[in-house]
Amino acid sequence: MLTRRVRHVLSAHASPRGVGTRGRCGPSWGGDVDRVGTLLQLCADRHYISPGRSDAQLWRRGLSCSLGPLGAELRRNLLEQWWHSVTRSRAQVFGINTLSSSSSSSSSNDDDDRDTGGQLRTVESERLKRILEQQELSKEQIVHEVQTLLQRSPSVRTDLLQGALEEFVPSLELVNRKLPFGLAETGRCFQPSEGSDCPAEVTQTSLVWFCSPRTSSQWLDHWARQRLKWWRKFSLSPSDFSSSDVPEEELVEAASRGVRIVYNFPWGQEALEALWSRGDTELLKTHKGDRSKLQCRNERMSVPHVVSVTGNMDRGLMAFLSNSLQLLKKEDGKQRLLQRKVLKLHPVLAPVKVALDIGRGATVELRRVCEGLMQEFLETKISVWPGYLETVPTSMEQLHAKYDEMGVLFTVVISDNTLESGLLQVRSRDTTIKETMHISEIRSFLSRYISAADKI
């Protein structure tokens, strides 16, 4: 399990606060150190991250790690929300889908040594090994052959910008050479592992916006406002998300202005998304300086300027998990102080909307009712947790504690009463209130609840 890693994070963030030892999660009441440890343990226990392959350091660096079923669904929801918000906010945003690797010969940076600095290439290890094993070759020959193989190996992308710059020309025809328009894409990008043996991947979101030189600064502000609003929409405490201008000394090459959207993690601020006003340098370079291919009808046939909006959704996922974890004190029946952990993910993001369980009664009949209800939910694309399949007896209290940690919005309990009167019990994660509802109403109640939360 995570224990070793959790300890690692705890020691990395040692603070004088919080040294309780209650429960398996180690220190628990208050304090940022405890919070990180508790969150990581919960994410592993509740199948957000895969316990065997997760690593707190990866999270802190904002890198991908293997996700369990709940994490995978949260990631899907997050990317879908990003996609809708970006591609459907304006008529002029189009989705694209480019390759993760490109053949070296088509690379636009052939003649530019600076750009090949951190470049990663996928090499066929057998071919490389065969070269190294050729005893008859001289040192110079081996060096030459390895260099040739390396040059011919495809390079993998480190960001999505280059793909969008290349798609600019075909897309221009689509919009009849009229500005502004944008190209959106999400996908995995690769980073040099910086000395460690660990592969470094990032799930990126990218909007590349092409506009007239005159308006690029306004568009940068427009998208920065939109993006901040988006992050805050799904958060429990919106003030933990903020945006700020990038100081001049930190600007990326070619950029005249930059804005970062950051999240206040327990261990400090980290950038979730970066927006840059990049001018036309990179676009011109990608298309070998051929201005005639790049000119647009409006704005006096000028070459458009590029505003890039690049997000790290692995870090975004962690931000929402961190933001939504509530640690509450609670007394149990014997007046012992317990900690209640609730993952209050936004209804739209929560990977499981409803858990279906059975109470007292004839198990076979109750399960049949659950199966019918399950199908109904799946048809409406409401994700369900099939608690009724569980055969190991658990108390309702334990069940609620588990579902709260999973972030399940509602728990529906089917019992003998349901068979008689059609009434079932619905318990809310956020209010902990239990209500009685007729079985015929539950589906539309949930749909309405989720879409109402989406519209706020």
- Per CB under 8 A, contacts with a second copy among 201-230 are 201
Question: What burial class does residue 409 get, using C-beta atoms within 10 Å of its C-beta: 0-12 exposed, 13-18 middle, 19+ buried?
Answer: buried
Site string (31-70) toward a second copy, x via CB under 8 A: ----------------x--xxxx----------xxxxxx-
Q: Which of 343, 374, 412, 446 binds a second copy (CB under 8 A)?
A: 374
Q: Which residues contact 332 (CB under 8 A, 6 or more apart)?
A: 338
Question: Given the complex with a second copy, which of 33 and 283 has the nearer CB atom?
Answer: 283
Compute CA distances 157 → 154, 160, 283, whole Å.
10, 7, 17
The least CB distance from residue 211 to a second copy, in Å, is 15
395 binds a second copy (CB under 8 A): no
393 binds a second copy (CB under 8 A): no
Residue 3: HSE in the Cβ half-sphere, 13 Å Cα cutoff: 5
Compute CA distances 85 → 150, 159, 160, 358, 445, whole Å.
40, 21, 18, 38, 25
Strand-pair category, 354-358 with 384-385: parallel
Q: Which of 8, 121, 233, 340 binds a second copy (CB under 8 A)?
A: 121
Say if residues 163 and 99 touch (Cβ distance below 8 Å): yes
Q: Kindly indicate which of the ranges 104-112, 253-261, 266-274, 409-417 contains the residues binding a second copy, using the contact rule CB under 8 A.
A: 104-112
107 binds a second copy (CB under 8 A): no
Q: Which of 146, 271, 284, 419 binds a second copy (CB under 8 A)?
A: 146
The least CB distance from residue 154 to a second copy, in Å, is 3
347 binds a second copy (CB under 8 A): no
For residues 40 and 440, give the distance between their C-alpha atoms in angstroms, rounded to a whole number.
39
For residues 56 and 187, give the distance between their C-alpha atoms in angstroms, rounded to a whole number.
22
For residues 65 and 60, give the distance between their C-alpha atoms in angstroms, rounded to a whole number.
11
Q: Which of 16, 118, 333, 393 binds a second copy (CB under 8 A)?
A: 118
Which letter does DSSP use for residue 179 in this model?
Answer: S
Site string (167-206) toward a second copy, x via CB under 8 A: x-xxx--xxx-x----x-x-xx-x-xx---xxx-x-----
Which letter does DSSP use for residue 92 in this model?
Answer: T
Say if residues 148 and 128 touch (Cβ distance below 8 Å): no
Question: Given the complex with a second copy, which of 94 and 445 has the nearer CB atom?
Answer: 94
For residues 306 and 279, give the distance between their C-alpha atoms in angstroms, rounded to a whole number.
6
The least CB distance from residue 152 to a second copy, in Å, is 5
124 binds a second copy (CB under 8 A): yes
Size of the site for a second copy (CB under 8 A): 90
Widest CA span in the chain: 87
299 binds a second copy (CB under 8 A): no
Q: Which of 4, 14, 21, 97 binds a second copy (CB under 8 A)?
A: 97
Q: Which of 95, 289, 372, 422 binds a second copy (CB under 8 A)?
A: 95
**In degrees, to the nearest 5, what angle opens at C-alpha 407 toward C-alphas 401 and 409?**
100
286 binds a second copy (CB under 8 A): no
Question: Given the complex with a second copy, which of 154 and 266 has the nearer CB atom?
Answer: 154
